[in-house]
């Protein structure tokens, strides 16, 4: 099965603070995804609000901030 995880917007992993969690919501076509610098990701959603809630759900585990 193909890897369906969304890639980083610029195709590169963050290296400035590898231990720091940074969550962002990115859009790809009609879908949005919540992604974290730790490698965590949420499934694609048509609702941006659901993607933001997915990202917010990752915050208590890590203390990350939503971009």
DSSP assignment of 7-63 equals PPTTS----S-TTS-EEEEEEETTEEEEEETTS-B---BS-HHHHHHHHHHHHHHH-
Sign of the alpha-carbon torsion through 38, 42, 47, 53: negative
Residue 42: predicted pLDDT: 94
Residue 44: predicted pLDDT: 94
Residue 14: predicted pLDDT: 45
Digit-coded pLDDT (tens) for 5-41: 555 554 444 445 555 778 899 999 999 999 988 889 9
How far apart are the C-alpha atoms of 3 and 22, rounded to whole Å?
A: 22
Its pTM surpasses 0.85: no
Categorize the per-residue pLDDT at 45 as very low, low, confident or very high, splitting at 50, 70 and 90: very high
- Of 2, 60, 14, nearest to 39 (Cα)? 14
């Amino acid at each position: 099965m193909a890897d369906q995880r969304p890639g980083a917007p610029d195709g590169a992993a963050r290296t400035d603070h590898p231990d720091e969690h940074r969550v962002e919501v990115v859009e790809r076509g009609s879908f949005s995804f919540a992604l974290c610098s730790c490698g965590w990701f949420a499934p694609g959603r048509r609702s941006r609000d659901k993607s933001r809630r997915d990202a917010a759900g990752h915050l208590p585990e890590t203390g990350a901030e939503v971009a």
